[in-house]
Structure 1
Amino acid sequence: MRKSKKIIHFIIISFLGILGFTACYPVLFLLTGSLMGAVELTDRLGPALGGAGGYVSWRLLPVYPTLKAYVNLLIDSPEFFVMFWNSIKLTGAILAGQLLVGVPAAWGFAKFRFPFKKALFMVYILLMMMPFQVMMLSNYLVLDKLHLIDTHLGIILPAVFSTFPVFIMYRFFESVPDAVIESARIDGAGNFQIFFYLGIPLGSAGIISAMVLGFLEYWNLIEQPLTFLKTKSLWPLSLFLPNIGLNEAGIAFTTSVVVLLPAMLVFLAGQDYLEQGIVAAAVKE
């Protein structure tokens, strides 16, 4: 019995290991490509880049590892740094705006009674489910009237009023016991004090979860900048990679790694909260 259990355990571990390696292979692919020289990349990817016949071949480790692509990107590419800081500015401003707007809105939906509350929340859910392509024309017309086309504010403002973080945080605020709120009211606390000293601390997991999800979304924003930004110097980092030529494969791999790192760090730091947010978003009204 013990041997059969060990064999089953070994098979399960091996199977999960293979799945884990398969999931991590794209990241290993990027890391390996970023450490390859131009000659080796041309030799490996020649058929895909249109410069040679045959089939693409790849290695898990480069034959002649080099950091030349990182030097070229981080030192000799000022355009990269402009787009990098644009991404930081856009993502930071959007998340800060969602904190100021979304947190009070979520608390209001969760703990206050007002006319047409359910209907309004249903509108929120419907707006959340609509893809950007459906709202693109109306957003463009509104931003054009406000003279916000080709400005960072034209990207920030619509995202600040996104309904998704409100939906995530609403689930956590709703779980705050009403008895605790009533006790605070009996002790003389006002609505603002209850929200600030009870709501925010007890719903902090939901707030962090919404911010992590928001960072992962807005750090990789592509459609909105492509639609509303015409000046290249205003583009975020997510638009730097698609504009790299096929003959700059090393820079492409290196840029992918650099873009991936902040998202990976934020994901690892907020992984527990992210899982709670996904579970909360899956619960139906």
Structure 2
Amino acid sequence: MSKKITGFLLLLLGMAVCYPIFFLFTGSLMGSGELKSHLGAALGLGTKPMTWSFLPLMPTLRHYVQLLLDSPEYFHMFWNSVLLSGGILAGQLLCGIPAAWGFAKYDFPLKKLLFSLYILLMMMPFQVTMLSGYLVLSKIKLTDTLWAVILPGAFSTFPVFIMYRFFCGVPQALMDAARIDGAGERAIFFHIGLPLGSSGIVSAVVLSFLESWNLIEQPMTFLKSKKLWPLSLYLPMITPEKAGISFAASVVTLLPALLVFLCGQDYLEQGIVAAAVKE
């Protein structure tokens, strides 16, 4: 009996969590008139109480057509998001994987101090380092370029921390056996470290993509020109009169993140567990 009650409560909780997505998808299929009748008070178009219907009365794809065919700025911002996310992920893989492997498997002077510094930087919110980061980027004349967002994100310490946990699980005996067989450190890294730590790498990629795809504060701080803004800043630019396009844009923006999440869900769970384990 208790299991049935627990299952029912979990089902209700799951429905409550999924409802905003269903709300978003339903709104994207409603006509402008229907949206105004439901959300008029929220859009400043009247004082009638807000209502919502489970399904649209007259489903339409007009908002998707307007967004995908009549809004060239959407595609421009979508490409900016792809460049930002791709650049950040590439930098994190190139810099983070060797750093995590070094922290996990080698001893060197000030190792514990440096790793503690990594953890400290990971815990700092963007607002703490915003001013210093802006001054550095301004000094090297990178503000108002995509590099102003890519470079700080590429050297993020959080992926290093995630991958470090997985690299620590690589058996030392296996590495010693490879050394006895004549394998060099580079061969050990590529043929033992990367395959056995692939779960941590994929987990870090999924977490980093979800973060970089939805960046808001960093682009608003470092990018003055709107032509460089990513997709995450597109929705606030939409006026209440274009609520339908806003719903459609939200759905289309959600799809890449949802796809990446579903593909790497198992690895993401492992990464969350690894991040929760502190030394």
TM range (shorter): over 0.9
Counterpart in 1 of 2:259?
265
Q: Determine helix, strand or coil for the equivalent of 1:47.
A: coil
Aligned-pair distance for 1:12? 3.1
Aligned mate of 1:53, from 40, 47, 68: 47
Q: What is the CA deviation profile of residues 34-73 of structure 1, one whole-angstrom value per residue up to 9, with x for unaligned ones?
A: 0000000011101111111121000110011100000000
- The list of structure 1 runs, each at least 4 consecutive aligned residues, that deviate by more than 6 angstroms after superposition, is none
Q: What is the CA deviation profile of residues 73-94 of structure 1, one whole-angstrom value per residue up to 9, with x for unaligned ones?
A: 0000000000001101110111
Aligned-pair distance for 1:11? 3.0
- The answer to whether the aligner puts 1:213 opposite 2:189 as a matched pair is no
- The answer to whether the aligner puts 1:19 opposite 2:13 as a matched pair is yes
Aligned mate of 2:194, from 158, 177, 200: 200
Counterpart in 1 of 2:225?
231
Q: What is the CA deviation profile of residues 148-197 of structure 1, one whole-angstrom value per residue up to 9, with x for unaligned ones?
A: 00000111111111100000000000111110000001011111111011
Show structure 1 runs of 5+ residues with no match. Answer: none
Aligned-pair distance for 1:9? 4.4
Show structure 2 runs of 5+ residues with no match. Answer: none
> Which amino acid in structure 1 is aligned with residue 145 of structure 2?
T
Counterpart in 2 of 1:142?
136
> Which amino acid in structure 1 is aligned with residue 245 of structure 2?
I
Q: CA RMSD in A?
A: 0.9
Aligned-pair distance for 1:13? 3.0
Identity %: 66
- The answer to whether the aligner puts 1:283 opposite 2:277 as a matched pair is yes
Counterpart in 2 of 1:182?
176
How many pairs were matched up? 279
Question: In structure 1, how many angstroms separate the alpha carbons of the residues matched to 2:8 and 2:167?
Answer: 42
Q: What is the CA deviation profile of residues 110-155 of structure 1, one whole-angstrom value per residue up to 9, with x for unaligned ones?
A: 0010001000000000000000000000000000011000000111
Map residues 135-174 of structure 1 onto 2, 5 A cutoff. Answer: 135-174=129-168
> Which amino acid in structure 1 is aligned with residue 224 of structure 2?
K
Does the Cα contact within 8 Å between 1:168 and 1:277 map onto a contact in 2?
yes
Does the Cα contact within 8 Å between 1:28 and 1:60 map onto a contact in 2?
no
Map residues 117-132 of structure 1 onto 2, 5 A cutoff. Answer: 117-132=111-126
Question: In structure 1, how many angstroms separate the alpha carbons of the residues matched to 2:41 and 2:254?
Answer: 26
> Which amino acid in structure 2 is aligned with residue 95 of structure 1?
L
Worse overlay, 11-20 or 201-210: 11-20
